[in-house]
Chain A
Amino acid sequence: MKKLPLALLGAICFCACKFNSNSKTLPIYGNRSAVTQTVNGQTVTDTVYATIPPFKFVNQYGDSTGSKDLAGKIYVADFFFTSCPSICPIMQRNMLAVYHAYKNTGDVKIVSFTIDPKYDTPPVLKTYADKLGVAGNSWWFLQGNRDSVYKIAEKNYLVAVSKDSTAAGGYVHQGWFVLVDKQQRVRGSYDGTDPKQVAQLVDDIKTLKMEPAGGK
């Protein structure tokens, strides 16, 4: 008889924990604005979140690839260059963990933008992908116009990149892995040089996969 309240308490705790893990949501990053509209005579205010604007670059196979191919998909973005001597190798080593976790699911992709488009042409990117052991279309290495890539990096993915002849390799950039949801909204930013944060990223993708494609 005495054990009953204890068991009940245990059950409640268990449910609470379970409920918590199911209802986990990721924050939505970027500027947001409230849009007030009149729908059927009633005033409705909606929050509009920042999204990644449309872009169109070229992937390692020489195909035109962009936001159209990423619509309705979850993806992880990072910025690198193939001749990078500093943090890129460790970033791509950690990104391989994401690649191996989701390479067989069509709705999760990885997009690595080169910040050295002059040198990193599609054939160079293809050789790099081959050497890294990356095949298929779940990880794209994109070459785009330098200014467009830098602009999208800083304004939309919130990653600082710049050309700097005094830095090793000639460029400085941050090692963030940026998680983008099915609606093109930034949902997370992870230190790509830290295996622990990358493991968290792999986990958070599972949470995002549970969200419907059309809205919250």
Chain B
Amino acid sequence: MKIKVVLGVCALLAGLIISCQGGDTLEFNRYYSEGSTVYQTHCQNCHGGHGEGLNGLIPPLTDSAFLKNNLHQLPCLVQNGLDGKITIGKRVFEGKMPAATGLANIEIAQALTYITNSFGNKLGIVNVEMVNSDLGKCR
């Protein structure tokens, strides 16, 4: 009798955990797959299909440490572009990244989720709430 109850509770807990994870995974997958399309349209020309960049001209998106340390600046970089020097993977890049004008916050979140979880990166979801809050603090 006791065993059955314990088993039942365990099953319920397991079910809860799985369904919660399922929700998170589902949200992540949605962001990620939409992000892949946004990336192809707005980023891939320059940064490449594998985030490899273009030699010394365009920085790669494969430096996980940089992405992690600058995670909250990334939405601003996408929305406003970048002009000047930037050091990525011990290499200095100089030039101009055009602003991705016309992208909705949700699209920025999707693209960033895709980038920060592709090309050898694994930083988890960047959701639209994070992007909204980060964009409010752009310098």
Interface: A41 (CB within 8 A) = no
Question: How many B residues face the partner with a CB closer than 8 A?
Answer: 11
Chain A at the B interface: mostly helix, strand, loop or mixed? helix
Question: How many A residues face the partner with a CB closer than 8 A?
Answer: 17
Interface: A89 (CB within 8 A) = yes
B57 touches A89 (CB 8 A): yes
B98 touches A93 (CB 8 A): no
Known A83-B96, A85-B98: A128·B45 in contact at CB below 8 Å: no
A87 touches B54 (CB 8 A): no
Mask: chain B, 44-75; 1 = CB below 8 Å from A; 0 = not: 11101000001111100000000000000000
B96 touches A130 (CB 8 A): no
A130 touches B58 (CB 8 A): no
A85 vs B101: C-alpha distance when bound (angstroms):
13
Chain B at the A interface: mostly helix, strand, loop or mixed? mixed
- The A-contacting residues of B in range 91-139, CB under 8 angstroms, are 96, 98
Nearest CB of chain B from residue A170's CB, rounded to whole Å: 11
- The B-contacting residues of A in range 110-145, CB under 8 angstroms, are 128, 130-133
A130 vs B57: C-alpha distance when bound (angstroms):
9
Known A87-B45, A89-B45, A90-B45: A130·B56 in contact at CB below 8 Å: yes
B55 touches A168 (CB 8 A): no
B45 touches A132 (CB 8 A): no
Select which of B56, B58, B96 is within 8 A of A89 by beta carbon: B58
B57 touches A128 (CB 8 A): yes
Select which of A85, A86, A93, A168 is within 8 A of B54 by beta carbon: A93
Nearest CB of chain A from residue B55's CB, rounded to whole Å: 4
A133 vs B52: C-alpha distance when bound (angstroms):
14
B55 touches A132 (CB 8 A): yes
User: Which chain B residues lie closer than 8 Å to A90 at the CB level?
Assistant: 44-46
User: Which chain A residues lie closer than 8 Å to B45 at the CB level?
Assistant: 86-87, 89-90, 193
A93 vs B46: C-alpha distance when bound (angstroms):
9
A189 vs B58: C-alpha distance when bound (angstroms):
27
Mask: chain A, 168-202; 1 = CB below 8 Å from B; 0 = not: 11000000000000000000000001000000000
The 6 closest A-B pairs by CB, nearest first: A131-B56, A85-B98, A89-B46, A133-B55, A131-B57, A90-B45
